[in-house]
Structure 1
Amino acid sequence: MHLVISVLLAPIVLFRGIETMSVRFLLALAASTILQLIVILLYMKAIKRSELSVTVPLVTLTPLFMLITSPILIGEFPSALGIVGIFFIVVGTYVLNIDGNKDKPLAPFTSLITNQGSRYMFIVAFLWSITANIDKIGVEETSPIFWAFTKDFIILIYLLPIMLIKSKSPLTQLKQRAGPLFGVGLFRTLSVLSQLFAIQLILVAYVIAIKRSSALIIILFAFFFLNEKEYFKTRLIGILVILCGLILIAL
């Protein structure tokens, strides 16, 4: 994924020219890439050691953590209405992500005591609340495209030795999966750029809260196009709560 993003953005960066990299930019770049590498490793360990229904809901905590990290790192703090909107989106997204624990809705939180994978994902959620704010610094110092390229290119460099050590015949695997990897990488590139351009316009906490509500689109897609209607009535509660949160943030 990081390879595809780097390849797609490299021609644009070269055409636009290398931008001036201030000390603040370089510090943000170093912090962001190191934290992102830690996130990648912890995320993979989390989903490997625990059920997705237990670990994934914990990711919805990122916007809540940002109510603490954003004021400290970049001096941004949402309005009272915005905070309520963030809470609504977090709760709604959480409801949509607990399919495997409907009888025990607090299972992801109680698992923090006994489940190592859940603890890893909890750390991931917190680290994402930091890296999202660092993205704002990187974009302010340069531009969304240049920041996205430099960040993903350095993460790619970090991951190369890990891939060569851990993977068997990595080049062969890349060739065999070139099509799907390019497709995922293309959409990931569009997603990253959309997020970075968005944080130029509104508070980072709002952007991440709205990003987490993408579960709403997935649920609606599954209902209308994949005929997955089994849990839709239960999920409808989460959808309505998310919509309320989005409306509050829009206001």
Structure 2
Amino acid sequence: MLGFLLAFGTAISEALKDITSKHNLHHIDEYTAAFSMHLVQSLLLIPVVFYFGFESISTRYLWALLGCSLLQLMVILLYFKAIKRSEISVTLPLITLTPLFMLITSPIMVGEFPNALGLIGILLIVVGTYISNLSEDPKKVFAPFVSLLKNQGARYMFGVAFIWSITANLDKIGVEETSPVFWAFTKDFTILMYLVPILLWKSKKPWLQIRNRKGPLFMVGFFRTTSVLAHMFALQLILVSYVVTIKRSSAVFIILYAFFFLNEKKNFRNRIIGISIILTGLFIIAIS
């Protein structure tokens, strides 16, 4: 039950991070946003790492760190390209494929596969999240999949979903080899170092952007930190496929926020149906 609660906490933190990021991206570029988020997270985790202590480093850990950090950097770039080149309504539902991909990658990489109830819960959350992001036009039910044939942004997001199914398992390996805190810090600090030359190359006056938005940017980094810590600790307690599937249910909180605070009433029927299916899936995973 604790693992489930931690994974649920990850979903809440992810939603808060995404909501605050959405507001920030009206004022800064995506490279500055990514860099500042990892900077704040690294700074917040330094005292936590010192408190819990440093871990011994194994060869398996180093390979996991190299692979996960490079893939996560690739995800950041692909994700922003997808959003820039395509409608969000077409690309975002494809992210829900990550837990399905993990039914293949997790058994291979970490030897995990959910039981029958857990499998039903995963499928329900995937279907519910997909439905909640769809248009009410029945002709557009398969629009995200059809777009894979002709939409470059959709293909980028499909790649993001697949890469996440790999990095989630590498997170599991990193946590097993060290600890949740140490792995979270070293992985994101490594990504931060990758982002420095990219920021200097792609962004215009990044330090001015950060100074002008330092308060909101700190909140994004804070929510990212709580999300990562809850995620890593949850990996020690329940299957990685459960953690990631519950994490993707952050869409529920984003939808509710948009409805109550942004007055986004469009596709409300689909969203209510999707949320109901997601909550059913969460309950089944909790009792499995």
TM value normalised by structure 1: 0.95
- Given that 2:134 and 2:270 are in contact with CA atoms closer than 8 Å, whether structure 1 keeps it comes out as no
Which residue of structure 1 lines up, in the alignment, with residue 89 of structure 2? 53
Which residue of structure 2 lines up, in the alignment, with residue 122 of structure 1? 158
CA distance in 2, matches of 1:119, 1:50: 10
Instruction: Report the Cα offset of residue 224 of structure 1.
Output: 4.3
Change in 2 beyond 3 A, CA 1:11/1:129 = same
Which residue of structure 2 lines up, in the alignment, with residue 43 of structure 1? 79
Identity fraction in percent:
67
Which residue of structure 2 lines up, in the alignment, with residue 206 of structure 1? 242
Compare 53-62 and 213-222 and name the one that shifted more: 213-222
- Given that 2:133 and 2:271 are in contact with CA atoms closer than 8 Å, whether structure 1 keeps it comes out as no
Matched, 1:2 2:38: yes
Q: Which amino acid aligns with 2:94?
A: L
Instruction: Report the Cα offset of residue 103 of structure 1.
Output: 4.1
Q: Which amino acid aligns with 2:190?
A: I
Which residue of structure 2 lines up, in the alignment, with residue 149 of structure 1? 185
- Given that 1:63 and 1:209 are in contact with CA atoms closer than 8 Å, whether structure 2 keeps it comes out as yes
Matched, 1:67 2:100: no
Instruction: Report the Cα offset of residue 12 of structure 1.
Output: 1.6
Change in 2 beyond 3 A, CA 1:163/1:101 = farther
Change in 2 beyond 3 A, CA 1:54/1:194 = same
Change in 2 beyond 3 A, CA 1:125/1:224 = same
Instruction: Report the Cα offset of residue 172 of structure 1.
Output: 1.2
Q: Which amino acid aligns with 1:25?
A: Y
Change in 2 beyond 3 A, CA 1:201/1:108 = same
Change in 2 beyond 3 A, CA 1:2/1:20 = same
Which residue of structure 2 lines up, in the alignment, with residue 189 of structure 1? 225
Q: Which amino acid aligns with 1:5?
A: Q
- Given that 2:168 and 2:240 are in contact with CA atoms closer than 8 Å, whether structure 1 keeps it comes out as yes
Q: Which amino acid aligns with 2:222?
A: L
Change in 2 beyond 3 A, CA 1:101/1:126 = farther
Q: Which amino acid aligns with 1:87?
A: L
Matched, 1:248 2:263: no
CA distance in 1, matches of 2:245, 2:53: 33
CA distance in 2, matches of 1:204, 1:182: 28
Which residue of structure 2 lines up, in the alignment, with residue 132 of structure 1? 168
For residues 8-60 of structure 1, the C-alpha deviation after alignment (integer angstroms, 9 at most, x for no partner) is: 00122123332111111111100100100111111111111111111111000
- Given that 1:46 and 1:120 are in contact with CA atoms closer than 8 Å, whether structure 2 keeps it comes out as yes
Which residue of structure 2 lines up, in the alignment, with residue 168 of structure 1? 204
Which residue of structure 1 lines up, in the alignment, with residue 67 of structure 2? 31
CA distance in 2, matches of 1:48, 1:103: 24
CA distance in 1, matches of 2:259, 2:146: 30
For residues 52-86 of structure 1, the C-alpha deviation after alignment (integer angstroms, 9 at most, x for no partner) is: 11111100000000000000000000011111111
Which residue of structure 2 lines up, in the alignment, with residue 19 of structure 1? 55
Instruction: Report the Cα offset of residue 226 of structure 1.
Output: 4.7
CA distance in 2, matches of 1:102, 1:170: 44
CA distance in 2, matches of 1:2, 1:145: 15
RMSD (CA atoms): 1.5
CA distance in 2, matches of 1:99, 1:184: 29
Q: Which runs of 5+ in 1 are unaligned?
A: none
TM value normalised by structure 2: 0.83
CA distance in 2, matches of 1:120, 1:71: 25
Q: Which runs of 5+ in 2 are unaligned?
A: 1-36
CA distance in 2, matches of 1:116, 1:154: 29
Instruction: Report the Cα offset of residue 104 of structure 1.
Output: 0.5
Which residue of structure 2 lines up, in the alignment, with residue 232 of structure 1? 268
Change in 2 beyond 3 A, CA 1:108/1:54 = same
